[in-house]
Amino acid sequence: QVQLVESGGGLVQAGGSLRLSCAASGHTFSRYNMGWFRQAPGKEREFVAVISWDGVTTLYIDSVRGRFTISRDNAKNTVYLQMNSLKPEDTAAYYCAADRGLLLSTKRHEYDTWGQGTQVTVSS
């Protein structure tokens, strides 16, 4: 099982960019589909993006498609979330998660392992 540590969050003005990283420990990172979720205060944790184990296939929630890009480097055991054109409604704690399922999932309960989260705050 992998362990996950996110980094790269911070405070940014609307229209700005941030790049989140999620570093995984262990030797099985390349076997996992990797997802990013986010949780705003008072709201449920929601799916943002997922990338297949081989980096070929990605899915995004509609509200971030065209602004966010998920990618991974299996040699570095790291998954990234490049966030451009940020909006105040993107403000949330962002979590990466690992899933050993065969198909890409947008469902929280299908992810086996979670990081501790990194805060993203977008000011207007």
More confident position, 27 or 21: 21
Which of 85, 80, 63, 69 minimizes the C-alpha distance to 17? Answer: 85
Give dist(CA 14, CA 11) in Å, integer: 10
Give the tens place of pLDDT for each residue, 59-74.
Answer: 999 999 999 999 999 9
Q: How confident is the model at residue 41 (pLDDT cuts 50, 70, 90)?
A: very high
Under DSSP, the state recorded for 108 is: G
pLDDT above 80 (res 15): yes
The Cβ-side half-sphere exposure at 107, using a 13 Å CA radius, reads 6
**pLDDT of residue 37 exceeding 80:** yes
Per DSSP, the residues of 55-99 read S--EEE-TTTBTTEEEEEETTTTEEEEEE-S--GGG-EEEEEEEE
* Per-residue pLDDT at 17 exceeds 90: yes
Please write the tens of the pLDDT for every residue from 74-94. 999 999 999 999 999 999 999
Question: What integer pLDDT is reported at residue 27 of this predicted model?
Answer: 75
Q: What is the pLDDT of residue 1?
A: 79
pLDDT of residue 61: 98
